[in-house]
Amino acid sequence: MVSRRRFEKAATTIATLGRGELKKQIKNFRGRFKLDFSDAYLETASVDRLRHILLAALMTAKSHN
């Protein structure tokens, strides 16, 4: 399980990212699983949705390490 401190740090960092950086990190995500979102989806999804995707991916990946 991911520690509360690690979660809060990741959430705070992700909250400061703009659309471009969120898209970049989602497209270049390296974890136990691949994130496979089309450019069209990433361009039309809300910034909040992109933040949710990235945070969920990071927390899921970290919880298995």
* Residues 34 and 59 sit within 8 Å (Cβ to Cβ): no
Q: What is the pLDDT along the chain (65 residues), one digit of tens a residue?
A: 468 888 899 999 999 999 999 999 999 999 888 899 999 999 999 999 999 999 999 988 866 55
Tokens of 45: 């999804």
This prediction's pTM? 0.86
